Chain A
């Protein structure tokens, strides 16, 4: 161990970062893409790309449900939003349990009301799930692994800040094309630029794992029952006088005549001050069905997720008369619960509109680059020394190759995942699983390639492949039945255009990196020893 607090923190920063760096990189990258998981899923279902939100989505949906599901006990309608262009329907038969996977679903074109048949895809959800539950491992084990990595990240951030005393001065320092110096500057810049984001995302990540990480002293709530559900469920409203709760309905009759939805929507939108996002029709087989309108999105950081339709703000109407029956009681959250809820909401960007979501996305990309450059830094710091000594230890060679597979290989795998989405036959059985298989298969091949070719060759080759895969996504999209980029931009369909453009920009960044690494390989890994570096700002060793 070293003398000096700062040096020992540099040591801690280096080794916590290295040991869990590849996993953290994967978590950061897939988690960042998951900020747009609905948009990504829409991109991955080109059958839905023609749907354009119209003014009468709510009435259209009610009318179609009366045709499709007259015998259901309840209907749920998710209306088009800035993140979705279709109408999503869900209905349950009488007596069916209300779980996440239960009920029947349909997707409608938001203008014509036509039932659409999207392909089966693992979608953005796979990347979202992977970022905290990995894949193919027991759920709790995977959460422990990611939880430990998150704690390592927390430690790496704290020790990194302690190590790095000239935090603001160095932020304005960038020395490109200088090998190790450039990696260090990029690492510092992405770290400092989004430091509040990194601290927030890491600590809130830990808090989201609370029930996993403290199994001995904190009892987890039962599955499917969020801890605060009792406090804000919109169902917890006073029943109007004269009504004796749900009555037993006569099964297999058409729903009682429902009031027109339009006027209720106007009442609710005026009350909410923002659009209605979700319509639920309950007790359809009783003489007095009820309609619950929920506001779109969350209006505050402490809004609860889960059951309350995204924000917990909802109004309940009598379905036959249109009379307002109730509104949810005002939220009463203790300070601790509020902090807890705010952390969860922040982590998921639940409250965020489009611009803030992009800011979070960019911060996430910053975090991804920070972890990646940190991993390269470990290698480039040691490369010169080993070159001087004339031998490279096997541990060093392993890290060098894992860096290629873990950082670029993962990017190639994600690109391949999107391509598989379009190129696998549409009617393939277990199609979603096959997409995931392509993802892991390509990732494994990329790691193998790094070991067979050696890092000097593997770097530009894999970066070039990633560039082609990502930059080619808009073309692939247009060629395989999706809305083409020119069209979606002219239409103002920024959901699809956004995915295409982000992929294109990512591809260009990979192309730039491929070119930079292809030119003299010696400049990157085996630079001649430089003049003594300032020891105080170089973490590690």
Chain B
């Protein structure tokens, strides 16, 4: 840490990253479940289970990203954009737009 930021700024940055990791990660995990459910409409519980397992992994990836991104800004946008993308995919998939 060459230039330690002031204590307060440091704390806010960590709070923002933690929020991005937890809320963003949970949002992404839920989105991926719905995407898989929509993509495999005939599979029923299988789709939910597959989505859930992918969701757990995605949550971990999001959290790792949130704390390793260069800047707080990059951490947040790096989660918000893929989440937006997943939402768009949801709207495009048949059965979407509800």
Q: Are A158 and B64 in touch, CB under 8 angstroms? A: yes
Residues of B within 8 A of A8 (CB): 67-68
> Which residues of A are interface residues toward B (Cβ below 8 A)?
1-3, 5, 8-9, 11-12, 151, 154-155, 158-159, 162, 203, 206-207, 210, 213-214, 216-218, 227, 334, 336-337, 339-340
Interface assignment of B63: CB less than 8 Å from any CB of chain A: yes
Residues of the A chain whose Cβ atoms lie less than 8 Å from the Cβ of B29: 214
Task: Report yes or no: B64 in contact with A9, Cβ–Cβ below 8 A.
Answer: yes
Residues of A with C-beta under 8 A to B17? 1
Q: Mark B39-59, 1 if CB is under 8 A from A, else 0.
A: 000010111111111011001
- Counting contact residues on chain B (CB < 8 A from A), the size range is 20 to 34
Q: In the complex, what distance in Å separates the CA atom of A159 from the CA atom of B60?
A: 10
Residues on B with C-beta less than 8 A from A340 are 49, 53
User: Which residue in B37, B43, B53 is a CB contact (below 8 Å) of A207?
Assistant: B53
Q: Which chain A residue lies CB-closest to B29?
A: A214
Contacts A158-B60, A214-B55: A1 and B14 contacting too (C-beta < 8 A)? yes
Closest to A336 in B: B46
- Give the distance in Å from the alpha carbon of A198 to the alpha carbon of B63 in the complex: 19
Q: Does B1 lie at the interface of the complex (its beta carbon under 8 Å from any beta carbon of A)?
A: yes
| Distance, CA A155 to CA B25, complexed state (A) | 12
Q: Is the CB of B30 closer than 8 A to any CB of chain A? A: yes
**Across-interface contacts of B45 in A (CB, < 8 A):** 227, 337
Kindly identify, within residues 1 to 25 of chain B, every residue whose CB is under 8 Å from any CB belonging to chain A. Answer: 1-2, 10, 13-14, 17
B63 touches A155 (CB 8 A): yes
Residues of A within 8 A of B64 (CB): 9, 12, 155, 158-159, 162
Complex contact A214–B33 (CB within 8 A): yes
B67 partner residues in chain A, CB cutoff 8 A: 1, 8-9, 11-12
A155 CA / B30 CA spacing, docked (Å): 18
Task: Select B56's contact among A203, A336, A339, beta carbons within 8 Å.
Answer: A203
B63 touches A1 (CB 8 A): no
27 intermolecular pairs with C-beta atoms under 8 Å apart? A1-B13, A1-B14, A1-B67, A3-B1, A3-B2, A151-B60, A154-B56, A155-B63, A155-B64, A158-B64, A206-B56, A207-B49, A207-B56, A210-B48, A210-B52, A214-B33, A214-B52, A214-B55, A216-B30, A217-B33, A217-B51, A218-B33, A218-B48, A218-B52, A227-B45, A336-B46, A340-B49
